[in-house]
Amino acid sequence: MTAPRYAIYFVPAPDTALFRLGSALVGYDCHDGTEVAPPAAAGLPPDWTDLTAEPRRYGFHATLKAPFRLAQGCDEAGLRDAVQRLSRDQPEIPVIRPVIRCIGSFVALVPREPVAALERLAADCVTRLDRFRAPLTAADRARRQASLTSDRLRANLECWGYPYVFDDFRFHMTLTGSLPEERRLAVAERMAALVAEHHGDVPLAIDRIVLLRQDEPEARFRVLAVAPLPVRATAAAGSR
């Protein structure tokens, strides 16, 4: 039997317009584990289901600590407790101004400008929860290394199990799989219009850390626990 994988994500609350939109666009609600139909009259291309096959496995989210299997001697209850402690220790709630951009070949929601508190939150998730992460398997390492372009990314992979951490971290909420270059701009413009319609031009508080589990390799990730950040203060979008 394959051991489950766990992931630490930001996932918006299930009752928010942004989460409902994002889940409908990727076709899956990771809070309740159900498939979701695309938004009605959204002007999506006819092959939209195919274009979103990859993000559908994970649901609408942003990665704070990439998927991992539990290290020997660790258990799910301990991981849950550690996530809750980490959230309680955060000094502020990061706030971003969301925009739609192309990242490589896919389209995602990203912050308009960097937010230092968000970068600190992601770094905390990477470092403080790493004792729960089992070492990479040879297959995982080979799959990741093939696409890495720098020694620093390769060192991140070896040390933390994921290349895009710390200075290489880029907060993003994926909305599509890989797109041909000639289609990216049109899809990005459609996504921007939908986010403006459903979420508006308002900030987004990164107000929770969410623990998810994938029971087997072909299964989808599902929310296991939500750890809200304490309401002490907010970090202004764009602060460094």
**What is the tens place of the pLDDT at every residue in 119-166?**
999 999 999 999 999 999 888 888 888 788 899 999 999 999 999 999
Residue 205 lies in a domain: yes
For the entire predicted model, the pTM comes to 0.94
Residue 33 one-letter amino acid: G
Amino acid, res. 207: D
Structure tokens at 209: 């850390």
Q: Determine contact, residues 187/194, Cβ cutoff 8 Å.
A: no
- Measuring CA to CA, which residue among 206, 23, 221, 56 is closest to residue 125? 206
pLDDT tens digits for 25-69? 999 999 999 999 998 889 999 999 999 999 999 999 999 999 999
**CA–CA dist 66, 31 (Å, integer):** 18
Nearest to 65 by CA among 133, 151, 115: 133
Q: Which domain holds residue 43?
A: 5-232
Q: Is residue 238 part of a domain?
A: no
Structural domain contains residue 209 = yes
Q: Coil, strand or helix: which one is 24?
A: helix
Domain count, the chain: 1
The CATH code of the domain that includes 184 is 3.90.1140.10
Whether 24 is in a domain gets the answer: yes
Q: Is 240 a member of any domain? A: no
